């Protein structure tokens, strides 16, 4: 039962998740009867919408599939609560874990992320490895330990989340973008352990199709949080390669080569790109804060 000091809206993006929602929604409604529950039907071809309506929750439907992130944005726009709780409708996220996230919000945090424990819903080795890389890279970027960057179960203050809505992609990388945006803006972020179960039905994430997109997340993390922190090591590496190559050609041929010049110029260009990107990033967040 909810005893929190804020109005709660629970947003569940769903695409062909009728089986999972049939079990989740009655339990969620029973545990949080005062909460606004919104299922965003992202172009489902099964009974997702009808099962949700039968459960007595609000349904927002997309005429066609726009993506998980687009469903999240639709739910956030139409929600009325002070706090938004996002969770999946495929059975991976448990109602019993909701209270822990809301408790941290009550403590004053702006964003609380559910950290998946154990088998992470029987994720493949490839996905588990990719998530580990994301977590390590993001932790280095922000200077704080991030145990789970991509978890879709999270609670957030609605007004702050809406201010970053324009940054969020329509695909599956909205958790990454929102987490880094909150760190970048100086908001308080917390992580709470949750029990992630085997999903009901088939995953919509395809390793080969979405793998390339997820690789781009690494660069998005850097450019979103602090571009110069990403570009400077690259520029330094190129510059040191130029120094090394120049030393080699000077010893072996006694001359300065075009390749050394190219490496030196490239390092300067990469550094300047990072510097300009850093200024653009700072300007973006200053504009957002004024608004």
Question: How confident is the prediction for the chain on average, in pLDDT?
Answer: 86
Of residues 269 and 278, more confidently modeled: 269
What's the rounded mean pLDDT across residues 113-134? 70
pLDDT digits 0-9 by tens, 181-197: 899 888 999 999 998 87
Q: Is 35:10 a contact under the CB 8 Å cutoff? A: yes
What topology does CATH give the domain 8-225?
A: Spore Coat Polysaccharide Biosynthesis Protein SpsA; Chain A (3.90.550)
The residue that leads in pLDDT, 1 or 76, is 76
Q: Which residues of 248-285 are buried (b: 16+ CB within 10 A; e: fewer)?
A: eeeeeeeeeeeebeebbebbeebbeebeebbeebeeee
pLDDT at position 50: 94
Q: How confident is the model at residue 170 (pLDDT cuts 50, 70, 90)?
A: confident
Q: What per-residue string of b and e applies to 58-80 under the rule 16 or more CB within 10 Å gives b?
A: bbbebeebbbbbbbbbbbbeebe
Choice between 5 and 178, residue whose per-residue pLDDT is larger: 178
**Higher-pLDDT residue of 280, 288:** 280
Average pLDDT over residues 225-243: 91
Q: Tell me the whole-structure pTM to 2 decimals.
A: 0.80
Distance (Å) of CA 15 to CA 42, 44, 57, 153, 157: 5, 5, 16, 16, 25
Average pLDDT rounded to a whole number, residues 21-26: 93
* E strand or H helix that includes residue 17: none
216 has a pLDDT exceeding 80: no
CA 44 vs. chain centroid, Å, equals: 23
In this prediction, residue 42 has a pLDDT band, given cuts at 50, 70 and 90, of very high
Of 158, 175, 204, the C-alpha closest to 17 is: 204
CB–CB of 24/100 below 8 Å?
no
Residue 286 has pLDDT above 70, yes or no: no
pLDDT value of position 79: 96
The Cβ of residue 220 has, within 10 Å, a number of other Cβ atoms equal to: 18
């Amino acid at each position: 039962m909810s005893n929190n000091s804020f109005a709660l809206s629970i947003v569940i993006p769903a695409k062909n998740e009728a089986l999972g929602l049939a079990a989740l929604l009655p339990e969620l409604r029973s545990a949080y009867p005062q909460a606004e529950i919104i299922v965003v039907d992202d172009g489902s071809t099964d009974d997702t919408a009808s099962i949700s309506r039968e459960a007595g929750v609000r349904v927002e439907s997309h005429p066609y599939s726009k993506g998980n992130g687009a469903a999240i944005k639709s739910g956030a726009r139409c929600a009325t609560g002070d706090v938004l709780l996002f969770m999946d409708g495929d059975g991976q996220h448990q109602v019993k874990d909701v209270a822990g996230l809301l408790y941290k919000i009550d403590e004053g945090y702006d964003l609380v992320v559910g950290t998946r424990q154990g088998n992470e819903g029987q994720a493949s080795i490839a996905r588990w490895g990719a998530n580990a890389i994301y977590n390590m890279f993001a932790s280095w970027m922000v200077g704080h330990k991030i145990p789970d960057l991509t978890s879709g179960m999270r609670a957030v203050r609605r007004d702050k989340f809406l201010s970053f809505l324009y940054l969020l992609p329509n695909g599956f990388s909205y958790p990454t973008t929102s987490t880094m945006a909150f760190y970048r803006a100086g908001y308080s972020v917390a992580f709470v352990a949750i029990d992630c179960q085997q999903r009901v039905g088939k995953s919509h994430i395809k390793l080969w199709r979405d793998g390339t997109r997820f690789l781009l997340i690494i660069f998005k993390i850097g450019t979103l949080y602090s571009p110069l922190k990403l570009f400077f090591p690259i520029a330094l590496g190129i510059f040191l390669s130029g120094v090394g190559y120049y030393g080699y050609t000077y010893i072996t041929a006694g001359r300065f080569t075009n390749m050394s010049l190219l490496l030196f110029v490239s390092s300067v260009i990469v550094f300047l790109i990072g510097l300009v990107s850093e200024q653009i990033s700072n300007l973006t967040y200053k504009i957002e804060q004024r608004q």
